[in-house]
């Protein structure tokens, strides 16, 4: 049986915006998406016996996806800034 712990974290606005976009894309609440991402992060820091490291191509693809997400956020922020005058 897994136990749960509650941990307070501080997340910057850009990270929250990325989490909101990803959660919306995956059709889940932001808090659930952040919790899932945190679990993946812990698993990446403590790989199990079946761990297979990412290839360079996979890392490049992940960086490209992150850059695209950042561009979407920046465009949305610019649009919101222009709308507020």
Q: How many CB atoms lie within 10 A of CB 84?
A: 6
Identify whether 2 is part of a domain: no
Identify whether 66 is part of a domain: yes
Identify whether 77 is part of a domain: yes
Identify whether 43 is part of a domain: yes
pTM of the predicted model as reported, rounded to 2 decimal places: 0.49
* pLDDT one-digit tens code per residue, 18-65: 889 888 988 999 988 888 888 888 777 777 777 777 888 988 888 898
Identify whether 62 is part of a domain: yes
Domain enclosing residue 80, as ranges: 13-84
Tokens linked to 58: 């996979």
Identify whether 17 is part of a domain: yes
Q: How many CB atoms lie within 10 A of CB 33?
A: 20
Q: How many domains does the chain have?
A: 1
Contacts of 20 (CB under 8 A, 6+ apart): 30
Identify whether 5 is part of a domain: no
Identify whether 18 is part of a domain: yes
Contacts of 17 (CB under 8 A, 6+ apart): 73, 76, 77
pLDDT of residue 1 exceeding 70, the answer is no
* pLDDT one-digit tens code per residue, 2-11: 666 777 778 8
């Amino acid at each position: 049986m897994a136990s749960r712990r509650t941990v307070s974290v501080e997340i910057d606005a850009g990270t929250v915006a990325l989490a909101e976009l990803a959660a919306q894309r995956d059709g889940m609440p932001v808090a659930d998406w952040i919790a899932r991402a945190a679990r993946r992060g812990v698993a990446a820091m403590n790989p199990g016996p079946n761990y297979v490291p990412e290839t360079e191509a996979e890392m490049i693809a992940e960086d490209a996806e992150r850059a695209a997400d950042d561009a979407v956020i920046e465009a949305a922020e610019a649009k919101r800034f222009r709308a507020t005058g």
